[in-house]
Amino acid sequence: MRQLYLKDERFREACEDYAASIASLRRFEARDDAELRPEVQDYRRLLRELEDELHKYLSSCGSG
């Protein structure tokens, strides 16, 4: 996976987006008003989408 990260810009960008989204979600979840913040659900949804994208990408690389 490290080699893929280093050589494939699309994969690298998806990984970086995933890491940034996790960091943002953690910041929102740490807020006292987290249950009221729509961003929490937005970031959770985004993370699921990015996980699906990464999984599909890794699956396609493994079958090629």
d(CA 43, CA 26): 9
CB atoms within 10 A of CB 13: 10
CB atoms within 10 A of CB 48: 10
How close are the terminal C-alpha atoms of the chain, in Å?
A: 15
Q: How do the domains of the chain map onto residue ranges?
A: 2-62
List per-residue pLDDT tens for the chain, 64 residues long.
888 899 999 999 999 999 999 999 999 999 999 999 999 999 999 999 999 999 999 998 875 4
Does the pTM exceed 0.85?
A: no
Using CB atoms within 10 A of its CB, is residue 53 exposed (0-12), middle (13-18) or buried (19+)? middle
